[in-house]
Structure 1
Amino acid sequence: MGAAGHARGAHRGRPGPRDEHPAHPVRTARGGLIVDARAVLVESFGRVGPTVHRIVDGLDEATLTWRADPEANTIAWLTWHIARVQDAQLAPLAETEEVWTAGGWAERFDLPFDDSASGYGQSADDVAAVRVPADLLLGYLDAVTAATSAYLATIAGDDLDRVVDHRWDPPVTLAARLVSILADDLQHVGQAAYVRGLAERAR
């Protein structure tokens, strides 16, 4: 869930989900449909960035940092957390350095956290510390999205069954880890949309 209390509300009048490029199913000889799992992952991860852009583009600092109550998360923190979760968890899978440090984003954001911070377990004060403009938030998210797309392009269907974490019972496969990352991101995308709706209605 990330940091403390998520605001709840309604975000109305925004464009719907991107559906121009759905994952392409393959019809079998018996008429059934087989959908390539990798294509579904590519499509699903590919929707995160554009959806966040529709929420965040053009927002001023007051809206980005608006809070439903003193413990609630802000759009700025949620957007940063969305990108950090994807970046921090995918980099080890791809065996690459995180975009956060490799691309100089940690220096540009200049947050009062360790470079390894991704938002988990942070306090209300930590949430308030994320005060950066929309273009910086979206720039980092776009860079992470590009890195994710590049990694997903390298995996084959058989790779998804590979165990990537033996600390759990059952062990975590690559497919399960990717779905977990995606689920966390999508949850926070929805929260950011709700917070924007609340902020606009509070004006």
Structure 2
Amino acid sequence: MNGAELIVDAFGRVREVVHHAADGLTARQLAERLDPDANSIAWLLWHLTRVQDDHVADASGVEQVWTAQGWEQRFNLPFKTEASGYGQSAAEVGSVRVESAQLLIGYYDAVYEQTIERVRGLGDADFDRIVDESWDPPVTLGVRLISVVSDTLQHAGQAAFIRGILERRAG
């Protein structure tokens, strides 16, 4: 197994958790927060997808799925186009509301497809390419992709945890 195959497998695992966390939930369940400052499932899945979309598109030199495929209009959120959820306030988190789980899953799947398309063709030497010189040391493609996998898997796990709490409350 080479590096690209490992990264593809990792993103596939994220996708499984995203689907499990959202599939079949109502708009109310997706928006529910365990306390007034907590993240909702909708926000967590939107945020993790925005980060993956932003970082993979930037590293690949392509347009984000968010704008290229019209997801920004479908979500109709009160944020700037480039918003990804990073540093948002509790009020902003609460404003991420979606009409269905399918909207979140659809956007995630579109980003997943672009991610896999970009990663599948990489050779092991490609992972050493510098993609962000604003850090010291500069960030390589390999480090960026692992960072995205780590961040998205954590947020997907948080969403799955919240789903479990909601299901136990419902009895």
Task: List aligned pairs for 1:75-154, cutoff 5 A.
Answer: 75-132=41-98, 133-154=100-121
Could you tell me the percent identity over the aligned residues? 51
Residue aligning to 1:72? 38
Q: Is the 8 A contact 2:17 2:156 kept in 1?
A: yes
Unaligned runs of 5+ in 2: none
Cα offset, 1:169, TM superposition = 2.0
Cα offset, 1:127, TM superposition = 1.1
Residue aligning to 1:196? 163
Cα offset, 1:101, TM superposition = 0.4
Larger radius of gyration: 1
Supply the AA of the counterpart residue of 1:147: Q
Cα offset, 1:164, TM superposition = 1.5
Residue aligning to 1:47? 13
Which TM-score applies when normalising by structure 1? Answer: 0.80
CA distance in 1, matches of 2:85, 2:74: 17
Task: List aligned pairs for 1:26-37, cutoff 5 A.
Answer: 35-37=1-3
Which TM-score applies when normalising by structure 2? Answer: 0.95
Runs of 4+ in 1 over 4 A off after TM superposition: none
- Output one character per residue of 1:40-69: Cα deviation in whole Å (capped at 9) or x when no partner: 101101221222111211101221111110
CA-atom RMSD in angstroms: 1.1
Describe the SS at the equivalent of 2:160. helix
- Report the number of matched residues: 169
Structure with higher helix content: 2
